[in-house]
Amino acid sequence: MTKPADMLRLGVNIDHVATLRNARGGSHPCPVSAALLAQKSGADGITAHLREDRRHIKDDDIVNLKQVLDIPLNFEMAATEEMVSLAERLRPNAACIVPEKRAELTTEGGLAVTGHEARLAPFITRLKAAGVRVSLFVDAIPGELEAAVGLGADIVELHTGAYCDASGAERAAHLTLLRDGAHYADKLGLEVHAGHGLNYENVSDIAAIQQMVELNIGHFLIGAAVFSGLPDALSTMRRLMDDARPEKSA
Ligand code: PXP
């Protein structure tokens, strides 16, 4: 499949395949198999977030993803010694540093970079020394983008959650912030990504932002896959059940 040179990259976040697997504590559905299927189906990269509480992706998943994928792995992680050490060993294509609170359902806002440079700088230096591209998941605020440049980040991923949750004039205002943020980040020399909460209804305005290079999408895609995949799964189960039945003699 040939793609235009300026085609936006689609990173598929497979965390919620692991959520489903963990609901039963077994191995099905396997997030690594889902990542391979996403790769076969046109994903440009795979994103996975190893949270401190291991609520979805587990350590083995991350190791296996790195081993089997041909497309880049974007390792989402908190800025902690444990995660940075793992990233140094794993050497994913990129590490996206996200804020992490134990009680949150999902990553609620961008990373606070301004004022936290002294804590973040050694981690970023180590990641870069290991050959890992560094991405910071931030709100589209000029000061945060400048702080990201100051720390030597390669990429900023703009948090689209507030835009996705809003409607009407509020959403338009968030979109303006994202457009301006993408423009400014690009001008500062950062590669611009975006993600969180994107779905069929809200993705187009974000995808249309000229400076955007990659979108990372997870929860909605995995949910949508349930609906598009259910007919096929159901007919396979139907056939297996039917085939197991003794034929009735006429
Ligand atoms: N990008 C980042 C940095 C994230 O933390 C997440 C959520 O894990 C996503 C993208 C994907 O968000 P969603 O699952 O809402 O599509």
What's residue 58's pLDDT? 97
CB of 12 closer than 6 angstroms to any ligand 1 atom: no
Residue in 83, 107, 113 to alter for ligand 1 test, most ligand atoms within 8 A of Cβ? 107
What's residue 4's pLDDT? 58
Atom 6, ligand 1: residue with shortest CA distance: 196
CB of 163 closer than 6 angstroms to any ligand 1 atom: no
Residue 249 falls within a domain, yes or no? no
Q: Tell me, in angstroms, the distance from the centre of ligand 1 to residue 247's CA.
A: 50
Query: Which is it for the CA torsion 137, 62, 213, 146, positive or negative?
Result: positive
Residue 191 falls within a domain, yes or no? yes
User: Domain limits at 189?
Assistant: 9-242
Which residues 6+ apart lie within 8 Å of 39 measured at CB? 46, 69, 70, 71
Q: Domain tally for the chain?
A: 1
Residue 142 falls within a domain, yes or no? yes
Whose structure tokens read 């046109």? 42
Atom 5, ligand 1: residue with shortest CA distance: 107
Residue 4 falls within a domain, yes or no? no
CB of 216 closer than 6 angstroms to any ligand 1 atom: yes
d(CA 29, CA 18): 7
Active site residue 196: yes
Residue 3 falls within a domain, yes or no? no
Q: pLDDT tens digits, the chain, 250 residues: what are they? A: 455 557 999 999 999 999 999 999 999 999 999 999 999 999 999 999 999 999 999 999 999 999 999 999 999 999 999 999 999 999 999 999 999 776 677 767 899 999 999 999 999 999 999 999 999 999 999 999 999 999 999 999 999 999 999 999 999 999 999 999 999 999 999 999 999 999 999 999 999 999 999 999 999 999 999 999 999 999 999 999 999 998 877 6
Residue 247 falls within a domain, yes or no? no
Q: How many CB atoms lie within 10 A of CB 225?
A: 17
- The CATH number assigned to the domain holding 98 equals 3.20.20.70
Residue 174 falls within a domain, yes or no? yes
Reply yes or no: is the peptide bond before residue 122 cis, omega within 30 of 0: no
Residue 250 falls within a domain, yes or no? no
* 3-state SS, one letter per residue, for 191-217: EEEEECCCCCCCHHHHHCCCCEEEEEE
Residue in 15, 47, 193 to alter for ligand 1 test, most ligand atoms within 8 A of Cβ? 47
Query: CB-based burial of residue 188 (10 Å sphere; 0-12 exposed, 13-18 middle, 19+ buried)?
Result: middle
What phi and psi values does residue 220 have, to the nearest 5 degrees? -65, -40
Atom 9, ligand 1: residue with shortest CA distance: 196
Please tell me the pTM assigned to this model. 0.94
What's residue 102's pLDDT? 65
Atom 12, ligand 1: residue with shortest CA distance: 196
